[in-house]
Amino acid sequence: MHGQVSNDTPVGVPADLMWDVYRGFELGRLVDKIAADVLGRVEFLEGDGGVGSIVKFTSAAEPGSGYMKEIFTKIDDENRVKETEVIEGGYKALGFDVVRIRLEILEKDSESCIVRSSIEYEGDDKLADVVSRVSVKPLEIMAEIVGKHLSENKSTL
């Protein structure tokens, strides 16, 4: 079984500014600074924010047990695409073999963009009952919070 869930979140900041935050560790730093109580905490375990870097996200909604580790597998500055793969916890702990997260920043106009958040999953057919739990809602909330922060503080990250 495989599938994907996706959502487009409009954001009132330029695509380049949003990408500067999303492309590496800055996204985790900003989430920790402005949304840890809503989304959770981010720890940087390995790397410099480039491909091969590993982060651990601990959910605010499920303290204690709700965590996942991700490895950055793709950072495409030209197309503003970042992909990660969950290597431990999260949806992987529910039994999925592969869980990929794709974040894409699409330019809408010179002052706004769209954050396209997708989760792709693969696993055994017996996971059919669990598929409904796969959601991009936290990624949508993150885009909204980060976008609002950047809109209000365009000169500072």
Active site residues: 82
28: CB partners within 8 A, 6+ apart: 42, 44, 55, 57
109: CB partners within 8 A, 6+ apart: none
Say if residues 70 and 55 touch (Cβ distance below 8 Å). yes
Say if residues 69 and 87 touch (Cβ distance below 8 Å). yes
